[in-house]
Structure 1
Amino acid sequence: MTESEKNEIHAHVQAIAAILYKDTESREPEKLTSLEGIEIAVREQMQNCVSKDIGIFLSKQAREQNLVGEEK
């Protein structure tokens, strides 16, 4: 991964974090008052929003690679 790609990922992660923070703050602001609450909120957001989409992306990539391998 190039330095440019790392910087791009960092910028996107910062944007995602801002959205998820705003969402948690508007729905459950009490979670943002302790380290435990923040950890729970981050875990929930990762499971509900981020991990699911990454998993879907990775499974599509794996299927495409399998299809390409089968064509040989």
Structure 2
Amino acid sequence: MSPEDQAALAQHSREIAKILHRNSPPEAVDTLEGIETTVRQQMLEHVSPEVGIFLSKRAPKPNGDAPGS
């Protein structure tokens, strides 16, 4: 990954974190366990589906391990 892409990813990740924090119940982020649980739930519910949709739009490249390769 290029340094520019790494910087952009870090910046966007911080923005995502701000949005998720803003939309978390205050009591959910009072403890390390609460933060971990809340982050995991929000990532699975909001972030992962968006990344999955983006990646699924790209045709998979065949690899040497697939049957018939």
TM-score range, shorter chain: 0.7 to 0.9
Q: How many residues are treated as equivalent by the alignment?
A: 62
Q: Which runs of 5+ in 2 are unaligned?
A: 63-69
Runs (4+) off by over 6 Å = none
- Aligned equivalent of 1:31, options 19, 28, 31: 28
Q: Which runs of 5+ in 1 are unaligned?
A: 67-72
After TM superposition, the score normalised by the length of structure 1 is 0.79
Given the alignment of the two structures, is residue 12 of structure 1 paired with residue 12 of structure 2, yes or no?
yes
Which residue in 1 is equivalent to 2:53? 56
Quick one: percent identity of the two aligned structures?
42
2:45 is paired with a residue whose SS is helix
